[in-house]
Amino acid sequence: MVLTGCLGGRENVLPPARFQLPANAPSVQRDLFKPGDSLELFVEEDPSFNGTFPVREGGYILIPRMGRVQVSGLDRDEAEIHLTKTLQKNQLTKARVLVEHVKIAGRGALTSPDVPKIMVYFTGSVAKPGMHMLPLIKGRPMGLYEALLITGGASRFGHLGRVEVLRPDSSGRRTRTLVDLRPIREGNADDPPLSEGDIVNVSEKVFGF
């Protein structure tokens, strides 16, 4: 469920995300894992699986409690699907997995100057507040929940049911929209795309006594 509002108190909706690749953006090619690269893994349901794992000579990564998992020849999306299936088969009933590709010498998909990026600010109850340059992998928009996980997630007392997105509308006025990330986390709602210059604020849980 998404609740809407704005700074001036007038009801509004989240303005459309401005998503446009630069005119000189390179053609998108499949970025495949290979020995010598590293795979950065995020598993929301069990952070003990999180970490950065080198792709070994045999084309696999070695994850504690999971063993060897072949990833060589897969791109990022394929690796996410493969690791999700592996986790759900052997470890978790349901797994939400995010994967990032780190290449040799640290020049991976996230750091390559050829990958277009958008600038987004995270504030409030988040693990890593501040400005983040988020890569537009495969020329697709970056989702709000996806970006939150990639940048470290919410802090211990972050309220995923009250996440504010501040974005300029067509008149240039910055509107505030309240987004509930919990249905998105459960796969029951679409992850709204972020836009250049968005400010994302994760509210803190309020505990009653």
Domain harbouring 43, CATH code: 3.30.1950.10
Provide the token pair at 27. Answer: 């053609």
Q: Distances from the Cα of 90 to the Cαs of 15, 67, 95, 171, in angstroms? A: 42, 11, 11, 52
122 assigned to some structural domain: yes
pLDDT of residue 81: 93
61 and 100 in contact (C-beta within 8 Å)?
no
CA atoms within 13 A on the CB side of 26: 10
Phi, psi for residue 154 in degrees, rounded to 5: -75, 155
Percent above pLDDT 70 for the chain: 77
123-167 confidence digits (pLDDT tens): 999 988 888 888 776 667 889 998 998 888 888 889 999 999 999
Structural domain total, the chain = 2
Domain with residue 148: its CATH number is 3.10.560.10
Residues contacting 27, CB < 8 A, separation 6+:
none
CB neighbours of residue 187 within 10 Å: 10
Which residues span the domain enclosing 58? 38-106
End position of a domain, from candidates 106, 141, 161? 106
**Could you tell me if 123 and 189 lie in one domain?**
yes
Task: Give the helix ranges, DSSP H, for the chain.
Answer: 76-90, 144-150, 182-185
55-72 confidence digits (pLDDT tens): 988 889 988 888 899 999
